[in-house]
Structures are given as C-alpha cells and as structure tokens.
Amino acid sequence: MKKTTIKTQIFIAFFFLGLSTFFAQDVAMNSNELELFETNYKTDPEDKEVIKETALEEGKYAYTSKGKEVIVEIKDGFYTEYHGENEFIKAKINWSSENNYKLVVTEIQKENLPFKEGTVMETEIIKVKGDKFYYESNLEGLTWSGRFRKID
C-alpha cells in the first residue's frame, strides 16, 4: 500500500506542477504587465546621436575628376557636387562619426552615371593636412580614394 501512496503523491505533485505552469503561462501571455519588459528595437530618427564635430564643415570644397574641377558644397545637411554646365548631384549627408559619413543621393542632373537616386555611398576622411581632406569612398562595392581642398 505504501507504493500506491508514493505513486499517488508523485502523480499529484506532477499534476499540480504542470497545472501551475499552464496557468502561469496563460497569465503571462495575457498580462498587460509584460509591456513593462518589452524593448522597442526600432530606431526613432529623433533619438539618433547628433555628431557635432565633423571633419568637413559647411562650406565649399573642390576636387579634380577627369581633368575638370568639381565644386562641392556642404550646407544644411546636404552635399551637392557641381560639375559645370548645370550638372549636379545632390545627396543627404549623414555623419556616423567625426570622420565617417553616408551620402544618400536625392537628386541627379547629370548624365551617364552608374547610380541613381537613393544610392548610398560611404566615405571616411582618413587624413587632414592643412586645407586638404583625404578620403576613401565605397559605392556599392566599388572603392576609391581622393582628396578635397577647402575653397570657402
């Protein structure tokens, strides 16, 4: 008779343990208190860290491409390249650190380019020497280096 009592007690213990686990899960799944522990991983544009010190300040810069001078203007969060004869490329500039930024192309008035509006280019300023800013850029896997010269 003792074996039956021990088996019965073990059965009852497992039964109540399982029952309590079932109810605990039910309460947890339907509880509004869980909202206290939820984490929102979506990034809010308002919560982004603002980079105050950047290698390139607002102003005008120049670089040479295919023997022609290209003027670059950085102003109000935009980077605009002027290629002469009413040709330009405009992009939103997003700084991720003092020396790194991404350009998201917003407007193009230039022919024969291998990219379009919405294209993202990443750039790192690797050295500053006087009024010259040396950089490395990456555009969809294509990388190159160059330099800007501050003109204004």
Neighbours of 37 (CB within 10 A): 6
User: Tell me: the pLDDT tens digits for 133-142?
Assistant: 999 999 989 9
User: Tell me: the pLDDT tens digits for 62-114?
Assistant: 999 889 999 999 999 999 999 988 999 999 999 999 999 999 999 999 998 88
